[in-house]
Each structure stands twice: as C-alpha cells, then as structure tokens.
Amino acid sequence: MTGDEPTDEEIVQTASDAAEGLIFSRYKQSNVRDYDVTVTFEEGVLEVDVYLNAPEDEADPEQVADDAALAAREAVDELFGE
C-alpha cells in the first residue's frame, strides 16, 4: 500500500459519513426512530449495510436505506479517484 492510498479507517469513515448524510438529507433527525450503518472494508472488499426505522410519510425508508448504501459506495469510489 502506498502513502497516497486511503487507510481502511478512512474508507470506513467516508462510507459511514456518506450513508448517514444521505439519511438525514431525506429525514429530519427527530423523525428517525432508529438507524444503523455498518461498514466493513477487508481485503479490498467494501460491505455496507444500512438499517433504517423511520416514518413512511416523508420517504420510503427501504429506498432511503438502499440509497444510503449506494451513496457510501460512491463516496469510497471518489476517495479512490474512480
């Protein structure tokens, strides 16, 4: 690994921040009952799992969770300059 490549910790933090940011761009924080963003990066493989418990009247929670996972992956791709 060269000094220019992001660390595993930076990758996980970037993905987590992006997922959380997307969730709270769609929902007011006070309306989110519960959420969990789990990110792992091992041996070059990124795994993102998003759980969201929020009311359906603002947005579809399942779609927002899927979008948050996608945003996390895209943020990591940007981190690598892809």
Residues counted in the chain: 82
What's the CATH number for 8-79?
Answer: 3.30.300.100
Q: What is the mean pLDDT of residues 46-51?
A: 98
Distance, CA of 21 to CA of 6 (rounded, Å): 20
pLDDT value at 2 more than 90: no
Q: What is the pLDDT of residue 81?
A: 87
For 17, counting Cβ atoms within 10 Å of its Cβ (0-12 exposed, 13-18 middle, 19+ buried), the class is middle
Q: What is the pLDDT of residue 3?
A: 60
* Nearest to 48, CA basis, from 65, 63, 23: 65
Q: pLDDT band at 52, cuts 50/70/90?
A: very high
pTM: 0.91
